[in-house]
Amino acid sequence: MRGKKVLKEKNSTEYNRDDWYLMVKVYTIASGKGGTGKTTVSINLGTALAKLGKETYLMDADIGMANVGLILGMQDVPVTLHEILAGKNKIDDGIYKGPEGLKVIPSGISLQGFQQADPDKIRDVLSEIEKKCEFLIIDAPAGISKDGVVPLAVANEVILVVNPELSSIVDALKTKILTDVVGGHVLGTIVNRVNQDKNEIISKKIEKVLGVKVIGIIPDDANVRRAAAARMPIVVKYPDSPASKAIQKIASDLAGVAYKEEEIKARREGFIERFSRVLFRKKSEK
């Protein structure tokens, strides 16, 4: 059974080594600066968890530069996190059905909506959603203003998304320090947009600089943009693409289940084989 808002003040080393993931349900996806892949990771990690049968919510807390709604084709919904954080609507009014049964709380894109939204109310939204879900993924804004800091403080665990560049790593380090200062905790780092071959070296360097574990490496993959253009998560549109596989592996780890790439592939091959057998069966066999 999943815990409630647990062990927030404690260090993650105090989780039982074997079942820490059972205790954690609220993850904030953060980085120092924009463009590292937070929204991509949030949407796809959320969808991958939903695909695993987990009751998963995704909240777009990037209330200034909201992207989740745009990428999932929810830009015209009547109630967004803006209205909820402005006290105009209830949380339940702003929850929408996303891919694979993922529940999505998009944010609005108007400047006025942003100005009226009170980031402190995120805590109330969180305590409501926590009751309903197994996982809540929060897409956080970049930067150190209040709307950026609250998601770092309220999550059970923060996951940093960094690119394999010095400036990105330095910015992530600042975010890690900020998270510590506000009483949050960083679970680990996802290195995004990695070119093959250098995985090992990059992971070791990043772990050394940030002092946190690398929990996943996502390759640079042109399918990410293609899927976004089609307004679909890559784990749905191109589930076998390199970035999809990497994200699905991270989701499996967070959910505490074995990553079943081989089984999924075998099932798909089985279907294709059966299909072609029916199509190309000789007349005499029919």
Footprint of ligand ADP on this chain (CB under 6 A)? 31, 34-40, 67, 192-193, 218, 220-221, 224-225, 228, 243
Least distance in Å: CB of 74 to ligand ADP? 15
Contact 94, 81 (CB under 8 A): yes
Which range of residues in 38-46, 77-85, 100-108, 273-281 is near Mg ion by CB under 5 A?
38-46
CB nearer to Mg ion: pick between 39 and 156? 39
Burial class (CB in 10 A: 0-12, 13-18, 19+), 213: middle
Question: Among 75, 99, 90, 77, which residue's Cα sits nearest to residue 121?
Answer: 90
CB nearer to ligand ADP: pick between 86 and 98? 98
Least distance in Å: CB of 34 to ligand ADP? 4
Least distance in Å: CB of 10 to ligand ADP? 28
CB nearer to ligand ADP: pick between 79 and 227? 227
Q: Can residue 107 be called a binding residue for Mg ion (CB under 5 A)?
A: no
Sheet containing 157-162: give its strands across.
Answer: 96-97, 103-105, 56-60, 135-139, 26-30, 157-162, 186-194, 214-219
Least distance in Å: CB of 5 to ligand ADP? 25
The encoded tokens of residue 213 equal: 């574990």
CB nearer to ligand ADP: pick between 143 and 184? 143
Question: Among 104, 113, 100, which residue's Cα sits nearest to residue 71?
Answer: 104
Q: Can residue 67 be called a binding residue for Mg ion (CB under 5 A)?
A: yes
Q: Phi first, then psi: what are they for 219, rounded to 5°? A: -70, 160
- 3-class DSSP string for 37-96: CHHHHHHHHHHHHHHCCCCEEEEECCCCCCCHHHHCCCCCCCCCHHHHHCCCCCHHHHCE
Q: How far apart are the first and last CA of the chain?
A: 51
Q: Can residue 40 be called a binding residue for Mg ion (CB under 5 A)?
A: no
Least distance in Å: CB of 60 to Mg ion? 8
Q: Which of 28, 39, 189, 241 binds Mg ion (CB under 5 A)?
A: 39
CB nearer to ligand ADP: pick between 37 and 64? 37
Least distance in Å: CB of 25 to Mg ion? 22
Q: What is the contact surface with Mg ion in residues (CB under 5 A)?
A: 38-39, 67
